[in-house]
Amino acid sequence: MKIKQIVLASLLWIIPLTILGCGGDAANSANQLNLLEKYKLPFGEPSGIAYDETQNVFWIVSGGDQKIYQTDITGVILKTLSYKGADLEGIALDSSGKSLWIVEERKRELLQIDLDGNVLHSEYIPLPGVLNHGLEGVAQDEQGTIFLLNEKEPGKFVELNSDLTIKLQKEISFAADFSDMVFSQKENCFYILSDESSALYRWSKEKGVLQKFELPIQKFEGVAINSAADKFFLVNDETNELWIYSLK
């Protein structure tokens, strides 16, 4: 009888530790987003944002004038890139810190540009579907792998090979649409934003949705993170604002 009790007690300790270590909801279920600051941006329809932690600056895509801006942490413009888009959406800073990846939604095109806006490479991504429900987000992990997000009809998570051909397509349907994503090296997972569902999701390729954060309004179109500081940076396409959140 005593042996059975010892075994049972040991199992009760092991089970919670296993759950917490798997990267699931239990690890962060108490965390919520806490709004720290809001800044009005001096351009319209921000639809994508990337954060450069080495310089503490943002790269923000404008769907209004189809330009890309470098701003400081409060949204003040530091630089305007020469690239002029047609239907610009997502943006990601390359792991080298020396170039940017952007997506053109209707063209189904992924482009690499330098930090002045010159095109280094462009790649057509053959994804079917409604033209204005195409590419919305782009992200890169620490190994340099590029990931893409298709808005809806259908919602898709796409992983590319090193030559930028499609390696994996995974249909996703946990939100009404998908407007941007960013990769968290700290957690080895993605944060995926939904405009229509007014939510930010922590998501894994293997396990799906790990956590959901409710947002107060719709039209959030871009997300970036500072993992070390547990901060999230969101841009709203309708209010033309930069929202800064922390985890609490």
Q: Strand ranges (DSSP E) for 95-185?
A: 99-104, 109-114, 119-124, 135-140, 146-150, 156-160, 166-171, 180-184
Q: For 35-54, how does the pLDDT look when each residue is reduced to its tens digit (9 = 90+)?
A: 999 999 999 999 999 999 99
82/174 same-domain check? yes
Q: Residue 130 — very low, low, confident or very high, per pLDDT cuts 50/70/90?
A: confident
pTM metric for this prediction: 0.87
Do 129 and 6 fall into the same domain? no
Has residue 25 got a pLDDT over 90? no
Same domain as 192, residue 83: yes
Q: Are residues 79 and 130 in the same domain?
A: yes
For the chain, the C-alpha Rg in angstroms (whole number) is: 19
Domain containing 16 equals 1-29
Residue 1 pLDDT > 80, yes or no? Answer: no
Is 156 found in the same domain as 130? yes
pLDDT at position 14, please?
35
Angle at 110 between CA 219 and CA 116, to 5 degrees: 90
Report which of residues 17 and 71 the model is more confident about.
71
The dihedral built from the CA positions of residue 77, 82, 87 and 93, taken in this order, carries a sign that is negative
Q: Mean pLDDT, the chain, as a whole number? A: 89
Cα(120)–Cα(164) distance, rounded to whole angstroms? 14
Question: What mean pLDDT comes out for the span 175-198?
Answer: 97
pLDDT given at position 24:
46
Residues 167, 188: one domain? yes
Residue with tokens 């092991």: 14
Q: Does one domain contain both 66 and 22?
A: no
Domains in the chain: how many in total? Answer: 2
Considering the domain architecture, whether residues 47 and 76 belong to the same structural domain is answered as yes
Q: Are 196 and 149 part of one and the same domain?
A: yes
CATH number for the domain harbouring residue 162: 2.120.10.30
Q: Same domain, yes or no, for 52 and 18? A: no
